[in-house]
Structure 1
C-alpha cells in the first residue's frame, strides 16, 4: 500500500497489517470516527492536534509524542506523512508509542478535504485555533499564546514545515494565535505543538485550582533565580577545570551551596 487515501486501500492486507502492528495506537479511518469516540467517552474539554501537510516523519513522530505527554486526546494527519504508508509507520515508531504502550488516537488521510474536517470539528463544538507565525494579510491579528484562552474544547491547526498553514485554512479557523519568537523564521513543528499544549495544560491547572497565578509567578521567579545561579556556577567550574584542577572539589561544594534556594 503506497497511499492511505481511499477506502479500498484501507481494506487492503497491508493496511490491516499496519493497524495490527501499530497497537496499542488507535488508527481511525476518518475524523468523524475520532470525534464520535471522544464525544462518547465524555472527555472534558478535549483537545486535538491537526497537522496540515507536515511531510517529515521525524516531525510528525515528535509531535505525536508531545501530544500524548501534554494531554491532547488525538492527532489528525492531513496529507503529508499520511500520503505514504512507510513514512506513516516511521512516524509511529519515532513517537515511541509502542515502547511506552501509549494509546494514541491518530486519524490519517492522504487527500484531506481540510474544510470538511474543520466543519466536523465545528459540529462537535470545538474551537478551531490556527497556530501561525506568518499572519500578514489575514483579516484579524493573532493573539499571543500567553494571552489566548485555551481551556475549552480545542482543535489546534499547525502547518507544514516550509509554508505553514494555508491562507484559506487560517481564515476558516475561529481563532488565530502566534508564539512570540525573536528574529525571523519559525519553530520546529513539534516544538510549537509542545509550547501550545504546555500553555493549555498550565491554564487548565490554574482554572482547576491546582495552581494559582501567584503560585505560578513565584515558581517562575524561583526558576529564573536557579538558572541564573547555575550559569554563574558553570562559569566558575569552567575556570577551575581550566586553571586549577586541584580546587575542583572545593568549587563544586561551593556551587552546590549557592544553588540552594
Structure 2
C-alpha cells in the first residue's frame, strides 16, 4: 500500500474524521485508551469505521513518520457511491442492471483487476463489504488502470441484506461456486443480474451463498482446484457481455 494512504498521529486522524474524509480502517495500539484516543474511537464509531487493535511493532513497521502516537488511519483513494447511483447509471444507459458483488476480497490487486474488467464489459457497479475486505486504496486505484474513476463502488455493512435489496429491485443473483448446478456458459446471464464472487481462500460465505438465486461453476480440467478470484470474475463477466450482445 502506498504511504499516501496513511494518516499518522492523533490530531491528523481526528481532523480527517471530522472533515468527513473517507477512511477504510484505523489501527490503534493495543491497550492505548487514554486522552484523544477515546475521541478517535467515538468519531470512528459514529461513522461506522472499523478499528483494529494491533501491537506497537505493527504500527512502527507501517509508519513513515515515526510519530504515529499509537494510531494510524488508512484513507480511501476514491469516494464510494450508493446503490441508487448504480441503478441510476444503468437507467441512463437504458440497460438492465449488471452488478458485481464481492464477498470479502482482501487482495487489492484482485479488486483493482476486477474493477478494470467490470468497467470494460460495461458493468454498472461493484459492491463490497465494510469488514474483511480491501477498500479503495492507492494500490487498487493503480491496478484498476483508471477504471476507479468510472466504476461506482458501493461499500455496505451486510452483503446478504444488500442482496435482498437488489432482489426487491428485480435483480437475479448468481453466485460463482464450484458446487454450482450448471456451467456458467449454459446459464442465461441476461436481464438484471448480480454476480457474486467469493474470497480468495474461502469462496462465497454460507449466508451469502444461501441468498443467491442460482450457483454457477467454471469447469476446471487441470489439477488445480480453483481460479484466482479476478480471473473467475473476468470469465463470467465477459460471458454476460457476450450474451447481452447476442440478445440485441
TM bucket (normalised to shorter chain) is 0.5 to 0.7
Alignment of 1:87-236 (within 5 A): 88-97=137-146, 102-109=149-156, 112-133=157-178, 135=179, 141-182=180-221, 183-208=223-248
C-alpha separation in 1, matches of 2:167 and 2:84: 15
Tell whether the 8 Å contact from 2:164 to 2:211 is kept in structure 1 after alignment: no
Unaligned runs of at least 5 residues, structure 1: 20-25, 136-140, 209-261
Partner SS, residue 80 of structure 2: strand
Tell whether the 8 Å contact from 2:86 to 2:124 is kept in structure 1 after alignment: no
C-alpha separation in 1, matches of 2:212 and 2:120: 25
For each residue in 1:23-56, what CA deviation from the matched residue of structure 2 results, as whole angstroms up to 9, or x when unmatched? xxx621x4x3334424653641121111110001
1:50 matched to 2:101? The reply is: yes
C-alpha separation in 2, matches of 1:36 and 1:205: 20
Provide the TM-score with structure 1 as the length reference: 0.62
Unaligned runs of at least 5 residues, structure 2: 1-22, 27-43, 50-72
Provide the TM-score with structure 2 as the length reference: 0.65
Alignment-derived partner of residue 223 in structure 1: none
Task: Give the number of equivalent residue pairs.
Answer: 183
Deviation at 1:144, TM superposition (A): 0.6
Deviation at 1:9, TM superposition (A): 6.5
Distance of aligned partners of 1:106 and 1:155 in 2 relative to their CA distance in 1, 3 Å threshold: same
Distance of aligned partners of 1:7 and 1:61 in 2 relative to their CA distance in 1, 3 Å threshold: farther
Structure 1 consecutive aligned stretches of length 4 or more whose deviation exceeds 4 Å: 4-7
Structure number having the greater strand percentage: 2
